[in-house]
């Protein structure tokens, strides 16, 4: 072996290098506050990397970030892993004690905090890791006043030259860590190395070019997945890999988001269904119909209700579904057109594109019997198990939970689904949300989908409630668009049952009308809260 051969590592700095060399003039925009070109961004990131090293950050040390979707966060996505330290994207929607718990569990040595979160950190001082240093910043670049001893973030960038030397980071080094609780349970840590993040970014970039999204380097992305949430689905990395303009909305304010989309020419976004719902029902929405017409959207995190998808389509939005977990980096499948459907009629294509999608390049998905592990036939419900180059290796410091995740060389998602004749995945339930009635499963997502088709229904969620006779029976929580009676909904569902679209025995026993859905920290509908509500009513 020749010693001067360069063993190329798939590290995150390569994405920054590749993007900023090929698309030097492409912009990164933070609200109406700051703009960068990829070239100036790369320079700024390298200054920060150097600054972090100067204050003593070492390889393997973890740095928590507490922030909205800002240009500062975007810097941290690159600068922290680039020097071999680890980006901990702290879930700011957790209660304070849980935030402290994740920071302790991750053993963060540093915390980078936006000024408005400083009071929170000051309050939690006593339950944070001993010796942890705080780096703070404000949008105005003025030094943040605090009772704590803090380092100024902007100073790290402005008083340092760009890091040019090679850092010898290995592609198998830990790059990111964050905590996920799903909709129930204690937070579990998942972590990813550089290689996984790079391969995920390149595969997500590649699949974006396929119809119906057909994204190119001329698209403009504004991602509405919080940056603390599963790498914002990888898009801060995809942006530089795909060479697209990237717009950061800061703290989500839906009226402002609509005006920013208009002003910056946004053509593509990704989000959970709730956010799409909130944007489309925003009072300002009617003024942005021209923006919707050019807009392409990927929906993930929860199933895309057919009713919402149709509403979006009517507005001219190209909307597709997608699927993934915190444990899977996250993207596994999206609703691109595969060869089985591309020449079929528009309705068939539409119904396929709003499913959980088909596997993206390099992902292997099987639907198996949860008991035996045997692969299910087309159309039969089973558990989704996966292989991909970017799945978490373990729950951090939790070998017990890891055992349930990785069985027989496949990651077990705990989601129930079937694969249709065209190769698209239809999620019918999270295993833990499943409703078992008279010994048989009622697929709550299919039922929700059916109810969402009623013109007077705005949002719906179905949960199981205890029943003496059947074990469990479904209850439907509905946010109505306008006045609607239980009887109207029931008649509507009976009609769908007559048409063979649902089973008659799935029709919920109870319909509960509420004014808005309780949400989890990642804006998914919180079924745990709904289930609790059925106990007390």
Q: Which residues bind a copy of itself (CB under 8 A)?
A: 1-2, 4-6, 8, 10, 14, 17-18, 21-26, 38, 199, 202-203, 205-206, 209-211, 214-218, 241-243, 336-340, 342, 358-359, 361-364, 387-389, 391, 393-394, 399, 402-403, 406-411, 423
404 CB-side CA count, 13 A: 7
Identity of the residue, 4 or 499, whose beta carbon is nearer to a copy of itself in the bound complex: 4
**Smallest separation, CB 61 to a copy of itself (Å):** 22
Residue 118 neighbours by CB distance under 10 Å: 21
**Smallest separation, CB 138 to a copy of itself (Å):** 31
**Smallest separation, CB 36 to a copy of itself (Å):** 13
Identity of the residue, 140 or 216, whose beta carbon is nearer to a copy of itself in the bound complex: 216
**Smallest separation, CB 47 to a copy of itself (Å):** 20
Backbone angles phi, psi at 457, to 5 degrees: -100, 130
**Smallest separation, CB 172 to a copy of itself (Å):** 10
Q: Return d(Cα 260, Cα 14) in angstroms, integer.
A: 30
**One-letter-per-residue 3-state SS of 411-460:** EEEEEEEEECCCCCEEEEEEHHHCEEECCEEECHHHHHHHHHCCCCEEEE
**Smallest separation, CB 406 to a copy of itself (Å):** 4
**Smallest separation, CB 462 to a copy of itself (Å):** 32
Closest Cα to residue 39, out of 69, 14, 18, 53? Answer: 18
Identity of the residue, 209 or 497, whose beta carbon is nearer to a copy of itself in the bound complex: 209
Identity of the residue, 215 or 225, whose beta carbon is nearer to a copy of itself in the bound complex: 215
Q: Return d(Cα 299, Cα 310) in angstroms, integer.
A: 13
Residue showing tokens 């063979």: 500
Token representation of residue 316: 């001219």
Identity of the residue, 200 or 454, whose beta carbon is nearer to a copy of itself in the bound complex: 200
**Smallest separation, CB 2 to a copy of itself (Å):** 5
Q: Return d(Cα 497, Cα 500) in angstroms, integer.
A: 5
Identity of the residue, 131 or 399, whose beta carbon is nearer to a copy of itself in the bound complex: 399
Q: Return d(Cα 243, Cα 519) in angstroms, integer.
A: 34
Closest Cα to residue 61, out of 173, 140, 215, 154? Answer: 173
Identity of the residue, 92 or 239, whose beta carbon is nearer to a copy of itself in the bound complex: 239
Identity of the residue, 15 or 134, whose beta carbon is nearer to a copy of itself in the bound complex: 15
CB 78 within 8 A of CB 13: yes
**Smallest separation, CB 279 to a copy of itself (Å):** 28
**Smallest separation, CB 412 to a copy of itself (Å):** 10
485 CB-side CA count, 13 A: 3
Identity of the residue, 370 or 518, whose beta carbon is nearer to a copy of itself in the bound complex: 370
Number of H helices, E strands in the chain: 17, 26
Q: Return d(Cα 438, Cα 443) in angstroms, integer.
A: 13
Helix, strand, coil in percent for the chain, rounding step 5: 35, 25, 40
> What are the beta bridge partners of residue 525?
519
CB 85 within 8 A of CB 60: yes
Identity of the residue, 15 or 266, whose beta carbon is nearer to a copy of itself in the bound complex: 15
**Smallest separation, CB 17 to a copy of itself (Å):** 6
Identity of the residue, 140 or 217, whose beta carbon is nearer to a copy of itself in the bound complex: 217
Give kind and range of the element (H or E) at residue 270: strand 268-271
Closest Cα to residue 207, out of 323, 336, 20, 398? Answer: 336
């Amino acid at each position: 072996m020749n010693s001067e051969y360069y063993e190329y590592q798939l590290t995150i700095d390569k994405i920054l290098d590749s993007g900023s060399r090929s698309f030097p003039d492409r912009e990164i925009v933070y609200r109406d506050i700051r703009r960068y070109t990829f070239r100036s961004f790369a320079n700024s990131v390298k200054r920060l990397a150097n600054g972090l090293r100067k204050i003593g950050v070492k390889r393997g040390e973890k740095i928590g970030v507490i922030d909205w979707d800002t240009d500062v966060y975007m810097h941290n996505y690159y600068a922290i892993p680039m020097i071999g330290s680890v980006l901990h994207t702290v879930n700011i929607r957790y209660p304070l004690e849980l935030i402290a718990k994740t920071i302790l569990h991750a053993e963060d040595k540093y915390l980078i905090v936006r000024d408005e979160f400083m009071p929170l950190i000051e309050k939690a001082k006593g339950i944070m890791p001993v010796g942890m240093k705080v780096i703070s910043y404000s949008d105005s670049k003025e030094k943040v006043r605090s009772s704590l001893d803090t380092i100024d973030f902007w100073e790290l960038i402005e008083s340092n030259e760009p890091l040019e030397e090679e850092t010898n980071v290995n592609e198998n080094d830990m790059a990111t860590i964050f905590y996920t609780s799903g909709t129930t349970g204690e937070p579990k840590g998942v972590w990813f190395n550089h290689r996984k993040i790079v391969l995920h970014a390149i595969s997500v970039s590649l699949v974006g070019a396929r119809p119906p999204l057909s994204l190119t380097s001329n698209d403009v992305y504004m991602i509405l997945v919080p940056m603390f949430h599963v790498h914002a689905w990888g898009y801060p990395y995809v942006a530089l890999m795909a060479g697209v303009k990237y717009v950061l909305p800061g703290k989500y304010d839906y009226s402002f988001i609509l005006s920013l989309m208009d002003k910056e020419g946004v053509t593509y976004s990704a989000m959970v269904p709730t956010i799409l719902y909130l944007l489309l029902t925003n009072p300002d929405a009617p003024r942005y119909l021209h923006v919707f017409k050019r807009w392409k959207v990927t929906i993930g995190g929860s199933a895309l209700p057919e009713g919402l998808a149709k509403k979006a389509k009517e507005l001219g939005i190209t909307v597709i579904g997608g699927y993934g977990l915190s444990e899977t980096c996250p993207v596994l499948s999206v609703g691109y057109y595969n060869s089985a459907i591309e020449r079929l009629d528009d309705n068939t294509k539409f119904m396929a594109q709003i499913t959980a999608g088909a596997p993206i390049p390099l992902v292997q998905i099987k639907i198996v019997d949860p008991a035996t592990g045997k692969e299910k036939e087309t159309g039969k419900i089973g558990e989704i198990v996966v292989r991909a180059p970017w799945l978490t290796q373990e729950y951090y410091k939790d070998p017990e939970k890891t055992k349930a995740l990785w069985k027989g060389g496949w990651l077990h998602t705990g989601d129930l689904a079937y694969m249709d004749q065209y190769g698209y995945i239809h999620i019918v339930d999270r295993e833990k949300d499943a409703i078992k009635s008279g010994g048989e499963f009622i697929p709550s997502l299919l039922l929700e989908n059916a109810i969402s088709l009623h013109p007077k229904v705005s949002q719906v969620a179905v949960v199981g409630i205890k029943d003496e006779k059947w074990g469990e029976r479904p209850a439907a929580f509905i946010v109505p668009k306008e006045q609607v009676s239980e009887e109207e909904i029931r008649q509507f569902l009976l009609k769908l049952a007559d048409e063979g679209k649902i089973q008659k025995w799935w029709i919920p026993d109870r319909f509960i009308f509420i004014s808005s859905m309780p949400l989890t920290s990642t804006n998914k509908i919180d079924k745990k809260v709904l289930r609790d509500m059925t106990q007390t009513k």
